Amino acid sequence: MSKRILVTGGAGFIGSHLCKRLIDDGEEVVCLDNLFTGTKKNIEELLDNHRFDFIRHDVTREFLVEVDQIYNLACPASPVKYQFDPVKTINTSVMGAINGLELAKNIKARILQASTSEVYGDPSVHPQPESYWGNVNPIGIRSCYDEGKRVAETLFFDYHRQYDVDIKVVRIFNTYGSNMSTNDGRVVSNFIVQALKGENLTIYGDGNQTRSFCFVTDLVDGMVRMMNSRDGFTGPVNLGNPAEFTMKELAQKVIELTGSKSKIIYKPLPQDDPRQRQPIIELAKKELGWEPVTDLEEGLRATIEYFRMILSDTNTLREI
Ligand code: NAD
Ligand code: UDP
């Protein structure tokens, strides 16, 4: 029998892929989103499906939906977007977690939190195991996101210990793919859009900082496996692709794969920008039988195709 599943933040980049995956699996999906960074365009193909519902709502306010499972993704994830209204960002993480957990408690649903590698901050342990407690500036410009997500994890574990809520926590490392918005501000979409438009690629800092990029369909598969993992396995579990690249390498790869004549320029490094990030995924391998299968080149090719299409659509619209 199909399950009824709530996805908060379901019109966003990862959420829209998750909704599609769950519909393809035969489930019923309720997507709840305030469309701050998400868009109905991302879920357009699902809107007519009788197993799919969309609710426009803000997770900082209570909500009641009868479901079996809840994926809590609502929260802007790009530094540019989450720093736009930092107070709202922390409110979204904290009140969104409380409202989701209260719902899970009341209707006895299982709930999964989309946490982040940002809980490790600018890590002094490299690569990062789940046991690392992190190195986060509590008062910096990234703190609204990092600390909000850390409090959300705390709330998940307190609801679990205090009220026996059935929780799952995944720590997602940098993920990319289609349905990122062209003005999202994160590095993969920025570089691809700049390359396709023939603009300079903007590296912040010296470009030697690293990230490990996971393709979105791999990530979503890990999330679904985690949601359906054995009773009592709460996580937190890292989900990410351990292949680590510098931003310089990423920029060069994007230029090569797009065949662009764009040049690289250097801009100041934002405050508290983590120097390195790479997940240890042994726990996900053992508990979920999961590891990413898409390498950076394959994932970038697919993402470049997506942005080519989006940008040509935009140009056509402008001409009209
Ligand atoms: P996104 O910005 O594309 O999606 C977030 C979605 O949440 C959007 O649809 C947005 O409209 C919605 N939203 C924001 N505030 C809301 C509110 N108050 N009420 C209801 N909806 C709200 O970002 P994403 O990359 O898809 O990230 C999804 C989740 O995964 C986030 O929780 C993010 O922290 C987490 N995550 C993402 C990454 C990544 O690399 N993409 C890494 C770590 C964690
Ligand atoms: N970055 C960059 N150019 C850009 C956007 C980002 O060099 O146009 C850098 C950013 O400073 C960081 C890395 O790329 O070191 C990843 O940034 P992103 O915003 O994608 O994610 P996060 O910092 O949250 O991992």
Length of the chain: 320
pLDDT at 319 over 70: no
% of the chain surpassing 90 pLDDT: 97
**Phi and psi at residue 88, in whole multiples of 5°?**
-65, -40
Ligand 1 center from residue 220 Cα (angstroms): 13
Q: Note the pLDDT tens digit of each residue in 170-206.
A: 999 999 999 999 999 999 999 999 999 999 999 999 9
315 — pLDDT class (breaks 50, 70, 90): low
Total count of domains within the chain: 1
The answer to whether position 227 is within a domain reads yes
- Where in 155-294 does DSSP place strands (E)? 167-172, 175-176, 201-204, 210-212, 214-215, 237-239, 244-246, 264-267
Element (H, E) at 28: strand 28-33
% of the chain surpassing 70 pLDDT: 98
The answer to whether position 286 is within a domain reads yes
Q: Are 85 and 145 in contact (CB under 8 A)?
A: no
313 — pLDDT class (breaks 50, 70, 90): confident
The answer to whether position 50 is within a domain reads yes
Report the SS3 class of residue 181: coil
Q: Note the pLDDT tens digit of each residue in 43-102.
A: 999 999 999 999 999 999 999 999 999 999 999 999 999 999 999 999 999 999 999 999
- Atom 37 of ligand 1, residue of closest alpha carbon: 77
Q: Could you tell which of 6, 17, 19, 37 is best to mutate to test the pocket of ligand 1, judged by most ligand atoms within 8 Å of the CB? A: 37
Ligand 1 center from residue 86 Cα (angstroms): 14
Q: Note the pLDDT tens digit of each residue in 238-260.
A: 999 999 999 999 999 999 999 99
The answer to whether position 162 is within a domain reads yes
- Give residue 304's Cα distance to chain centre: 19
Ligand 2 center from residue 187 Cα (angstroms): 5
Domain hosting 288: range is: 4-176+215-241+273-293
Q: Note the pLDDT tens digit of each residue in 289-308.
A: 999 999 999 999 999 999 99
What Å distances lie between residue 3 and 22, 99, 125, 169, CA to CA?
Answer: 9, 21, 40, 20
Q: What is the mean pLDDT of the chain?
A: 96
Whether this model's pTM surpasses 0.95: yes
320 — pLDDT class (breaks 50, 70, 90): very low
pLDDT at 318 over 70: no
pLDDT at 278 over 70: yes
pLDDT at 317 over 70: no
Q: For position 58, which CATH number holds?
A: 3.40.50.720
- Atom 27 of ligand 1, residue of closest alpha carbon: 77
The answer to whether position 221 is within a domain reads yes
Question: Residue-wise over 17-44: b if at least 16 C-beta within 10 A, else e?
Answer: bbbbbbbeeebbbbbbbbebbbbeebbe
Residue of 8, 34, 13 whose CA lies nearest to 189: 13
Show the ligand 2 pocket: residues with CB < 6 angstroms. 78-79, 174, 186-187, 190, 202-204, 209, 211, 247, 270, 273
The answer to whether position 264 is within a domain reads no
What is the C-alpha R_g of the chain? 19
The answer to whether position 184 is within a domain reads no
The answer to whether position 57 is within a domain reads yes
CB atoms within 10 A of CB 48: 7
Q: Treating both helix axes as pointing N-terminal to C-terminal, what angle do 247-258 and 296-319 enclose, rounded to 10 degrees?
A: 60
pLDDT at 316 over 60: no
Give the number of the ligand closest to the Cα of residue 202: 2
